[in-house]
Structure formats: C-alpha cells, structure tokens
Amino acid sequence: MNIFIALVHYPVYNKKGEVVVTSITTLDIHDIARTAKTYGISKFYILTPLLTQRELAQRILRHWIEGYGAEYNPTRRDAFLITSVAGGLGDIIEDIERSTGKTPKIIVTDARKFPDSISFNELKKELIKPYVFLFLFGTGWGLERGLIQRADYRLEPVEGITDYNHLPVRGAIAIIIDRLLGR
C-alpha cells in the first residue's frame, strides 16, 4: 500500500481563527490507528511540534506495544505498530522517502470546498497511480491556509444530507478512508 496519513496538531486554527498547536487527544490515536490498520494504510503519523506532547504520545504507544497493554489487547498493539510520532511535516516526508524512495504527493482535507477541489471519484483514480500519497488531517478548526494551498490535492469535503456539517475528525477520517479505499 502506498498511502500514509498524518493527524496534524500544528499549524491549525482555533475557534477564533488563530493559528495554534492543539493538544493530542488519546482517543484520536486509538481510533485513527485502528481505522488505518483496517484499511491497509502504511503508516499513521501523529504530528506535533511540542516535545512534551510527543513524549506523551510515545508513552501511550509504548504501553500498548511493549507494556502490559500488548498482552491485554493485542489488536490495539497491531494498530499501534503502524503508528508513529513526528515533530514536523519535513520529518514525515523524509521518513516516507527513506522507506519508499519516493516523495509523497500531499492531499489535504477541509470542511470547505475550494475552486480546485478534487472529488472522491477523481482522487480514487489518482490513488492507483504509482505514486506515494500522504493525507494531512487537521485537528481543531482545520489546517492552516498555507498548508492547504501548497498541497498537491485538496479533497472535496465530506457532505451528509443536511446543511449541518460538523463531523468529528475521527468520524470524518473513517468516512474518507472508506470512500477512497473501501472494497
């Protein structure tokens, strides 16, 4: 599989539209790791520039991979074996280049639609090309604009059937991955 995903805690917006670092949510890690493992994602990166937050994430991963958790819940261990912590987007890109020999094409998602947004069907066709892809999923109130503009693809938003569009990030990621990679 040629697909990587990252949960981005910086740079993202807060409620007021300021660029901030969001905190890691333990449950995000558990949920997204399981979803990634189910759909054959190569690696799930938790991206935060804060050292203490990265250490927290590492401690959680170690508990479930090597510690008591590995015995208590082996399926969680399997999901966490593809999960990794990174301090910056550059580190993630280098890590992917090291393991695949290719620079990943970057796909961003957002609750808004952009003039050049790509549809789910069109992106599905791209994903079978011989490239490597990295999805960036924003926490808080979404990815910083510059990150969105520099990406190779801007995926159209997930829309339900109402005007209400406030899916939790965990649910949105599950839906996006299922639409693009589900059988």
Give residues in contact with a copy of itself (CB under 8 A): 27, 30-31, 34-35, 37-40, 75-76, 78-79, 158-162, 164-168, 170-175, 178-179, 181-183
Torsion of CA 49, 88, 14, 106, to 10 degrees: -170
- CB closer to a copy of itself, 97 vs 178: 178
Give 166's contacts (C-beta < 8 A, 6+ positions apart).
none
Q: Please report how close the Cβ of residue 9 comes to a copy of itself at its closest, in angstroms.
A: 18
- CB closer to a copy of itself, 121 vs 149: 121
- CB closer to a copy of itself, 90 vs 182: 182
- CB closer to a copy of itself, 68 vs 164: 164
3-state class of 35 per DSSP?
A: helix
- CB closer to a copy of itself, 9 vs 77: 77
Q: Please report how close the Cβ of residue 63 comes to a copy of itself at its closest, in angstroms.
A: 18
Q: Please report how close the Cβ of residue 68 comes to a copy of itself at its closest, in angstroms.
A: 15
Q: Please report how close the Cβ of residue 6 comes to a copy of itself at its closest, in angstroms.
A: 17
Give, in degrees to the nearest 5, the angle at Cα 118 between 177 and 13: 75
Query: 16-23 long-range CB contacts below 8 Å, 24 or more apart?
Result: 17/141, 19/144, 20/140, 21/48, 21/49, 21/50, 21/53, 22/139, 22/140, 23/53
What distance in Å separates the CA atoms of residue 69 and residue 60, rounded to the nearest whole number?
A: 9
Per-residue tokens: 85: 């912590």
Q: Please report how close the Cβ of residue 34 comes to a copy of itself at its closest, in angstroms.
A: 5
